[in-house]
Structure formats: C-alpha cells, structure tokens
Amino acid sequence: MRLLRKLFSADSRNRAAALLIVLCAAIVAATEPALPALMKHVLDVGFTSRRDFPLWAVPAVLLGLFTVRGLAWLTSQFLTQWMTQNVLARVRTLVYGQIVHAQLAQLQRESASSLIGAAVYEAQLALGMIFPGLLTLVRDSLTLLALFGYLMWLNWSLTLLTLAILLPLLFTMRLISRRAKRLNAQMQKAAEVTSYALEEGMLAAPVIRVHNAQSGFAARFEAINQGLRRTTVKTLVSGSSTTPVSQWLSALAVSVVMVYALHQSDVSGQHSVGGFVSFITAMLMTLSPLRRVSDIVQPMVRALSSLERLRGIIDTPQEADTGSFELARASGELRFEDVTVRIGAIDRPVLDRVSLHVHAGESLALVGPSGAGKTTLMRLVPRLLEPSSGRLLLDGVPLRDWKLHALRQQIALVSQDVVLLNDSVAANVSFGEPVDEARAWSALEAAALADFVRGLPGGLHAEIGHNGSQLSGGQRQRLSIARALYRDAPLLILDEATSALDAESERLVQQAVDRLMQGRTTIVIAHRLATIAHCDRIAVLDQGRLVELGTQSELLTRGGLYAQLHRMQFAGQGTQEWVGGN
C-alpha cells in the first residue's frame, strides 16, 4: 500500500483526477434512486386526473437523467484509465531508472525476464485491477448509500426487513460462486492431467508396444478421462444452477417484502401502488452493487500483494555518488592499492590485496585462468563494483572522491559482448551523447567501418535492427570500437574485443583496436595471448592474486604461470581451462 501511495502522489494531477472521479461517481450514485422515484410519481398521479406534468416531461426527464448519468460514467471511466496508465508509466520509468542507476550487484539478483515481467505485465495486471476496482468500490458504495437512503425515506421498517433478507441472500450467492470457482479450477487441473497423459502416450508409444502394455495404459488413461468427465459435469451443473438458484432466492425475498408491504397496507392503508413499485425497484437495484462490492475486495487485495513485489526493485539502493572531484580530462594514471573484493558468502576473496600501478598512456594486459579475477578487476575501474578494502586512484585521486559522472566520462569500454541499440548507426556511435556527424564519421573511419556505412540506405541514419541484427560479427565489434573512439576517453578497457571472429574480421578489428589504443591508458582482458603481444606490460592473476607482472619477454624468461599458459596455447593444447572472465 505504501508503494501505491508513493506512485500515486508522484504526479499532482492524479489527485485532481481522483477528486473528479469521486465527484462523477457521486453523480452516478445520485441518479440511481431518481428512476424509482420518478416511477412512483408517474404511477401515483400520472394515470389519474391529478396529473401535474405534461406528457413530454417524461421522456425529457428520463433522457436528461441518463445523459447526465452517462457523461458522469464515461468521465469517471476515462479518468480512471488515464490515472492507471499514468501510474503505470511512472512504474516503468522507476524500474528503468533502477536499471541504469541502481547498484549492479543488487540489481543483478533479479533476472531480466523477472524485471520485465514485474515492470510490464504484473504491474499492468495489478494496477488494471486496483484503480478500476477502487472506482467500482467508491461508485457502488455511494450508490448503495443513495438507494438505501431512498428506501429508508420510503419505508424504514420495510427497508430493515429487506436488509435482513438481502444479506443472507448475498452470503448464499457468494458460497455458490466460490464453489463454482473451485470446481472450475479442478476441471482445469483435470484437463491438464488428461493432456499430459495423451502426450505421454504419444511419447511412449513405441515402448508401450514393445512391452505389450496397451491394456494397462488404456485402463490408466480411462480412469483419468472419467475423472475429467465427472469434474466437467459437476462444474457445468454448478454453473447452470447459479442462475435459477439466484432467481429463486430473489423471488423469495420479493415475496416476503410483498407480503409485509400488503400487510402494512391492510393495517394502515397509507401505501400507494407507485410507492410499492418504487420500493421493489430500488430494492432490486441494490443487488448488483452489493454483489460487486463484496466480490471486488479479494481480487484487489491480491493485486496489491502482486504490486508490492515491485518494491524490492524500486527500493534497490542506488549507486553511491558522494565525491566532488571532477576533471575535464584525466591523464589516465591508475593505481590499485591493496584491493580486496569479497562477494557474498564465498570464503576466498575474488581479489586478494592486489596492488598495481598503470602509468598514463600505458597498455596493460590482464591474463590468467578462469576465475582469476580479471573481470572483477576491470569492473572496479568504472565503479560498477566496490572494493571490500583497499582503494583505487585515478590521477592520484581516490575513485570515491570523483563525481561518478566525471569518473565515467574518462572511461571507454569495448567488450566481447557488444550491446547495440535498435536504432540508427549515428545513435549507436554517440550512445546517449548528442550526435555530431563529423565526429561520428571520423570515428567510423578510424574503425574501418565508414565505407560500409556509406553503402547503407540512409548512411549514418540507417537502422541496424535489434542488437545490430543486420550487421556481421566483425561489423558489430567495429561499431563498438567506433563508439569508444567517438567518446575519446583517456582510459580504455578492452574485454577480448577480437574474440569469436573469423580471420579477416579479426584483422580489421585488431587494426581498429590498435588505432583506438594510441595515446590512451589501456587495460586489456585477454584470453588469447596472440592479441596482447603489443601491450607494454602483462599482469598475471591467479585465484584473485597478482602473481606475475612484466613484459612478455620477461615473463617468458621467468618460466612461471604466464610461460606455462603461453606454451599451452601456442602448442595447440587444451586452452579451454584458461578461458573465463572472473
């Protein structure tokens, strides 16, 4: 409920809409007793010499009454749907805001399908029940107040008798409805079991024949089939009995009321025909709103419970951004000082007291077996992950002291998992920044992709499909490199940018990568050692620790872990154990 109040109060227009909805609901409710009241007057004086209205007044009043009622009804429905969609849009905005701003470690506990389901489908179903349900609750409650007020005014003793009859009647109808729902659920379950038995028979048909098990399986299916038949018959009979039972109970209620009203007329002689017909009409008009009010509460409670699941997503803590330091362009000097990272309840730290100094403009390769901590180390730089202890410094300033936006403005990332927008080439190159076409063409030229883009219909503004579905693997990778060139950041992170490509695509991508690395501090996560021969230094990680650091020739001379990895890869032996990114 707290989440619903938060979503509702986020837009002041929702309050105005709610007030108008209540006003329209009150108008609709006020018109309900007007019809039986009009019938009373017409029956009492319209068929006598005492008629005090012209004939044209009857259709005029009726049409005017239903015009006002219809306009109020439509307005309340429109405003309810508008408010529902307004709050739904707010939900989607909040969830997407969490996707781009929340702490990744917390957010990634939810699967993508779970997030989408909660933000789109569950929220749609829940809010689609809550706000229309509230409208029904308010409108029917006011209608009942208006009708029972009118009934009390007509005949208070008869009204109390009516209430004494209607409440047990509604309770009985509710029991019948619940039984019908329960039987319907049983029928659906029996149908699922029967369908599964048929599917099982199809799948096992050869085995059934080989084992001569036809009679046994046929008997088993017949039992299941007869169970479905019995349940279906029960459900249909229960559903069919609802209408006659409700009509019989209504007839009983009307009979009791009629007898009592006739008795009162015999005793006092004060009741008119119009008054009695008006009373019966108003009494019957209370049945539908009473049933709707009693039926709407439980679905609304379930909808509120379903909506509360969004709280865990919306209340996910956002990334800490407490720093104040900012710089237009850093030099790119990066330091890791005794950095340790622990994730969850894992005993061994993912990174264990790693200290590393990357000079401005230097290229450093990270290698090691799967689970060594390479990707974890990379995620620390843009603060996608926070160290458990130790610190990182950029240009001598601790990362926590940088403004988050200013820090990430210094970083460009090219990953093996390329993410492309279902948008134009220009939008994918600029990736959220204002599009500068000259700058975009320059980046595409450097990424060896300009000629291809010129040949596209629309050129720079050509759509590339869902996640670049209209591009080859090499083209997608070069487009991500063009994005990094467009960003022109001093610090570059390359996560195996040439993996899973054919020889020609890899050559073109590697050339683009070489141009991209010029003049930038570069951290390369490498699984294939052939791609890091040009790096200034190589850091070797194993079980979260920095075990070797030096140039390729130095590490080969030492004969340690890197030399072992080098021999395995270039001897064509099992390199799979070295592939991984943690």
pLDDT tens column, 113-152: 667 777 777 778 788 888 888 888 899 889 989 988 988 8
Q: What is the pLDDT of residues 391-412, one digit of tens each?
A: 999 999 999 999 999 999 999 9
Q: How far apart (Å, rounded) are the C-alpha atoms in residues 414 and 481?
A: 6
Label residues 95-119 b or e (16+ Cβ within 10 Å = b): beebbeebbeebbeebeeeebeebb
What pLDDT is recorded for position 396? 92
> Both ends of the chain: CA-CA distance in Å?
41
Residue 86 pLDDT exceeds 80: yes
Superfamily name with CATH number, domain 1-315: ABC transporter type 1, transmembrane domain (1.20.1560.10)
Other beta carbons within 10 angstroms of residue 521's beta carbon come to: 25
Query: Can you read off the two tokens belonging to residue 380?
Result: 């620390």
Q: For residue 429, with 0-12 CB atoms within 10 Å meaning exposed, 13-18 middle and 19 or more buried, which class applies?
A: buried
Tell whether the model's pLDDT for residue 573 goes beyond 60. no
pLDDT in tens, 6-26: 777 777 888 899 999 999 999
Domain with CATH 3.40.50.300 in the chain: 334-571
User: What topology does CATH give the domain 334-571?
Assistant: Rossmann fold (3.40.50)
Instruction: Please state, rounded to an integer, the average pLDDT across all residues of the chain.
Output: 83
| Residue extent(s) of CATH 1.20.1560.10 domains in the chain | 1-315
pLDDT tens-digit readout, 480-534: 888 888 988 999 998 876 665 666 777 777 788 888 888 899 998 877 777 787 8
C-beta separation of 534 from 553 below 8 A: no
What DSSP string describes 161-193?
HHHHHHHHHHHHHHHHHHHHHHHHHHHHHHHHH
Mapped to the 3 state alphabet, what secondary structure does 440-455 carry? HHHHHHHCCCHHHHHC
Q: Inform me whether the pLDDT recorded for 575 exceeds 70.
A: no
**3-class DSSP assignment, residue 58:** helix
**φ and ψ of 260, to 5 deg:** -65, -40
* pLDDT computed for residue 562 by the predictor: 87
Contact between 471 and 477 (Cβ < 8 Å): no
User: What is the percentage of the chain residues whose pLDDT exceeds 70?
Assistant: 91
